[in-house]
């Protein structure tokens, strides 16, 4: 049997187990049985198409038809989007320009999802009288400023067609749509439960696959490169001290760990809603396994930060920190004396010795980049990687890997671009925090949702300090920021007097307890 078919059988088996495990709690707290089964079936259909099409364009066309057929029947399109977000890798190929231009644009699974699911959702939402028009909120203005700045900077050195492709079309599809739909589509707690549960279930499938990859030293999605006839170029076997670093459908270990960290953050919101505490604990344990097996230290630090922020912003914070400290004091000696203790310590960030050169590389990248940024502080440098100062960072593969999202932005668009990017996320975090602190019940579900969104967002901002915006990373952080805006708006509208609410807004249908 060809490798890609053997991989498919294993992936389908794990997915079937996870979906069966997740169906009861998901339907009990988040969505109807029909919604869950529709999304699950779509996940299977897309996965089967990718592995059985044997041609990239057949896979893209059939997947587009499936998405366009299912999406109109979906009451919560963001939840559907999240559930199938990690179904297959973002294998890409350019769409021919048919002699008019070299190519129209590069298509991959993430863009296909945006075009087939998020674009129709955007067109619907913008016509609704109870949806805030884009541009009125501070995050709207900052993200618009960031995108416009990058468009103008690219226009200075690139062709008109490439500027329109990257600065307009890609910016709209890859950045604006995930943010806009996430910030406008969710109106009440039921919507949020549905969306966050869908993300968690998708991550649980990914976690099961990743655990198998780690245990069997076999990356299950690499065979798609030959099966679809398109070079992927990112999914390669990476090892750390003899252990294979799992990647799943994300194509690289750090994006996989990043997805697991975000899913863990979301899962904290579901702990009061899942009917069985045992089921919730099993799900959390599975996500922790998924976080460990990529052997990526940046997501570990980000996940730890999420937990600390979550505890710090919750009720009885001092008691919870004391409990956490006591558990750590008990667990640490046991880890140190266990046979696996030295290996565990060596893999930890800051104190571990395994591949310490990666940390040295990041430190040197930051030092050199700061020098270059200060030479052109406002709007950055056209192609900083070609500067002589950067050449010592060129690695064995012949590339300069800017493994820091903030550095990459500052190099390309200067401190102005970095300020708009960072300011956008700061404004979202402030909005979440203000909404939380205005709630009187610190034990209620609305406050818990704010805790989770704030801690997850801050954890993301820490993780992307260790990686560039590759794979699913930017799609997830723009979406999570959108969720933060939706949360702040939900609380603000619930408090506002009837006359101050947007036309068509119905308090009975969108109250925060719905």
DSSP-derived secondary structure for 344-404: HHHHSTTT--TTHHHHHHHHHHHHHHHHHHHHSTTT--TTGGGSGGGGGG--TTS------
CA distance 484 to 255: 21
Expressed in angstroms, the distance from the first to the final Cα of the chain is: 51
- When pLDDT is cut at 50, 70 and 90, the band that residue 311 belongs to is very high
H or E element that contains 104: strand 103-107
Least confident of 19-28, 58-67, 169-178, 475-484: 19-28
DSSP letter string over 472-512?
A: THHHHHHHHHHHHHHHHHHHHHHHS-GGGSPTT--HHHH-T
The confidence score (pLDDT) of residue 327 equals 79
DSSP letter string over 160-206?
A: HHHHIIIIIIIIIIIIIHHHHHHHHH--SHHHHHHHHHHHHHHHHHH
Residue 322 lies in a domain: no
Residue 436 backbone phi and psi in degrees, to 5: -60, -50
Alpha helical stretches, state H, 53-92: 56-70, 77-84
Residue 459 lies in a domain: yes
- When pLDDT is cut at 50, 70 and 90, the band that residue 342 belongs to is low
Residue 19 lies in a domain: yes
The confidence score (pLDDT) of residue 96 equals 85
- When pLDDT is cut at 50, 70 and 90, the band that residue 336 belongs to is low
- Smallest CA-to-CA distance from 466 within 369, 344, 373, 358 is with 358
Q: Is the dihedral of CA 468, 472, 473, 475 positive or negative?
A: positive
CA distance 508 to 505: 9
Maximum mean pLDDT: which of 253-267, 350-364, 492-506:
253-267
- When pLDDT is cut at 50, 70 and 90, the band that residue 272 belongs to is confident
Residue 168 lies in a domain: yes
Q: pLDDT tens for residues 349-359?
A: 655 566 667 88
Residue 203 lies in a domain: yes
CA distance 389 to 386: 8
- 189-216 helix and 473-495 helix, angle to the nearest 10 degrees: 160
CA distance 93 to 95: 7
Task: Report, as an integer, the average pLDDT of 188-198.
Answer: 95
CA distance 141 to 143: 6
Helices (H) and strands (E) in the chain, counts: 21, 4
The parent domain of residue 272 ranges over 3-315+355-510
Residue 329 lies in a domain: no
The confidence score (pLDDT) of residue 105 equals 93
Residue 448 lies in a domain: yes
Q: Is the pLDDT of residue 218 over 90?
A: yes
CA distance 459 to 461: 5
CA distance 241 to 459: 27
CB 260 within 8 A of CB 290: yes
Number of domains in the chain: 1
- When pLDDT is cut at 50, 70 and 90, the band that residue 500 belongs to is low
382 CB-near residues (< 8 Å, 6+ apart): 156, 157
Residue 328 lies in a domain: no
Q: Is the pLDDT of residue 343 over 60?
A: yes
CB 415 within 8 A of CB 375: no
- When pLDDT is cut at 50, 70 and 90, the band that residue 514 belongs to is very low
The confidence score (pLDDT) of residue 352 equals 58
- Smallest CA-to-CA distance from 212 within 180, 236, 247 is with 247
Q: Is the pLDDT of residue 503 over 60?
A: no
Residue 40 half-sphere exposure toward CB, CA atoms < 13 A: 24
Q: Is the pLDDT of residue 265 over 80?
A: yes
CB 232 within 8 A of CB 249: no
The confidence score (pLDDT) of residue 320 equals 84
Q: pLDDT tens for residues 224-240?
A: 988 998 887 667 899 88
**Better-predicted residue by pLDDT, 337 or 281:** 281
5 CB-near residues (< 8 Å, 6+ apart): 51
Q: pLDDT tens for residues 115-148?
A: 999 999 999 999 999 899 999 999 999 999 999 9
CA distance 40 to 80: 9
CB 379 within 8 A of CB 417: yes
CA distance 35 to 420: 38
> How many C-beta atoms lie closer than 10 Å to residue 30's C-beta?
26
Q: pLDDT tens for residues 29-73?
A: 889 999 999 999 999 999 999 999 999 999 999 999 999 999 999
> How many C-beta atoms lie closer than 10 Å to residue 84's C-beta?
25
CA distance 132 to 184: 7
- Smallest CA-to-CA distance from 51 within 12, 2, 112, 5 is with 5
Taking every pair of Cα atoms in the chain, the longest distance, rounded to a whole number of angstroms, is: 68
Average pLDDT over all residues of the chain? 90
- Paired residues of 239 in beta bridges: 244
Is residue 2 helix, strand or coil? coil
């Amino acid at each position: 049997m060809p490798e890609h078919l053997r991989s498919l059988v294993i992936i389908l088996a794990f997915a079937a187990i996870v979906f069966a495990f997740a169906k009861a709690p998901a339907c009990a707290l988040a969505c109807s049985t029909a919604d869950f089964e529709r999304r699950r079936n779509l996940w299977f259909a897309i996965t089967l198409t990718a592995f059985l099409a044997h041609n990239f364009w057949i896979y893209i066309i059939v997947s587009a038809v499936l998405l366009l057929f299912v999406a109109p029947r979906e009451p919560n399109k963001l939840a559907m989007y999240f559930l199938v977000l990690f179904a297959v890798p973002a294998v890409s190929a350019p769409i021919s320009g048919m002699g008019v231009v070299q190519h129209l644009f590069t298509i991959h699974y993430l863009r296909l999802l945006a075009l087939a699911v998020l674009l129709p959702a955007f067109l619907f939402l913008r016509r609704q009288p109870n949806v805030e028009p884009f541009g009125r909120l501070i995050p709207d203005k900052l993200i618009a400023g960031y995108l416009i700045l990058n468009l103008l900077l690219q226009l200075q050195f690139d062709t008109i067609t490439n500027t329109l492709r990257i600065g307009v079309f890609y910016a709209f599809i890859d950045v604006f749509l995930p943010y806009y739909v996430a910030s406008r589509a969710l109106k009440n707690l039921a919507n949020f439960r549905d969306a966050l549960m869908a993300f968690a279930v998708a991550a649980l499938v990914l976690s099961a696959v990743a655990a198998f990859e780690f245990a069997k030293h076999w990356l299950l999605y690499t065979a798609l490169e030959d099966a679809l006839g398109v070079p992927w170029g990112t999914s390669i076997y990476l090892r750390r001290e003899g252990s294979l670093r799992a990647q799943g459908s994300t194509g690289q270990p750090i994006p996989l760990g990043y997805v697991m960290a975000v899913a863990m953050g979301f899962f904290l919101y579901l702990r009061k809603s899942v009917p069985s505490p045992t089921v919730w604990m099993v799900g959390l344990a599975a996500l922790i396994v998924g976080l460990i097996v990529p052997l990526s230290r940046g997501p570990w630090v980000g996940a730890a930060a999420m937990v600390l922020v979550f505890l710090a912003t919750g009720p009885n914070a001092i008691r919870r920190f004391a409990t956490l400290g006591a558990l750590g004091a008990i667990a640490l000696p046991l880890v140190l004396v266990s046979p696996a203790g030295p290996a565990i310590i060596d893999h930890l960030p800051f104190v571990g010795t395994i591949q310490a050169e990666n940390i040295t590389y990041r430190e040197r990248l930051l030092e050199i980049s700061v020098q270059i940024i200060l030479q052109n502080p406002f709007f950055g440098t056209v192609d900083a990687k070609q500067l002589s100062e950067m050449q010592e960072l060129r690695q064995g593969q012949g590339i300069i890997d800017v493994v820091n999202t903030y550095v990459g932005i500052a190099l390309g668009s200067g401190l102005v671009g970095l300020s708009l990017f960072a300011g956008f996320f700061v404004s979202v975090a402030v909005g979440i925090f203000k909404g939380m602190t205005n709630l009187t019940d610190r034990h209620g579900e609305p406050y818990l949702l704010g805790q989770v969104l704030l801690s997850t967002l801050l954890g993301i901002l820490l993780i992307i300090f260790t990686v560039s915006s590759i794979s699913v990373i930017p799609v997830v952080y723009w979406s999570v920021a959108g969720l933060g805006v939706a949360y702040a708006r939900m609380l603000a509208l619930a408090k506002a007097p009837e006359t101050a609410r947007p036309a068509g807004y119905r308090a009975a249908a969108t109250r925060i307890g719905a």
